[in-house]
Amino acid sequence: MRHQLPEKLYYSIGEVAESFDVKPSLIRFWEKEFQLISPKKTQRGTRKFSAKDIEKLELIYTLVKERGFTLDGAKKELKQSNKGTLDVLKKLQKIRQELLRIKNEM
C-alpha cells in the first residue's frame, strides 16, 4: 500500500520509494523495465518524479506486488489496457485506500 506524499511538483526517488515501502533500486529497475516511466533528470542525473510518474508506478506496483503479475504479465496488461481500464483501476485503488483508512480508525 502506498503512503500519501505531500503535494509537490516533483519528488525524489527516495521519497517515491518510501511512499511505496520499497528500495530505490526497485524504482530504478521498474524505470528500465517499463517505458511508460520517464522521470525528469537533472544535469547530475538525479531523478525527479512527477505526480503522473507516481500514478504510473502505482499501477505497476498494484499489478506486480498486489495482484502477483510477473513483469512480462504486467507489461502485457498495461499494453492491452485502454485508458478506461486504467482509470477504473485507479478508482479502485483509491476506494481500497479509503476502506483501509476507515478500518485503521476503528
CATH number for 77 = 1.10.1660.10
CB 42 within 8 A of CB 52: no
What is the extent of the structural domain holding 64?
13-105
> Is 1's pLDDT higher than 60?
no
Q: Which helix (H) or strand (E) holds 73?
A: helix 71-80
Assess if residue 6 is contained within a domain. no
Q: Is the pTM of this model over 0.85?
A: no
Q: Which residues contact 57 (CB under 8 A, 6 or more apart)?
A: 16, 20, 27, 30, 37, 49
> Is 6's pLDDT higher than 90?
no
- Distance of alpha carbon 105 from the chain centroid: 25
Cell of 39: 522521470
Structural domain total, the chain: 1
| pLDDT digits 0-9 by tens, 53-84 | 998 898 899 889 988 999 999 988 888 765 55
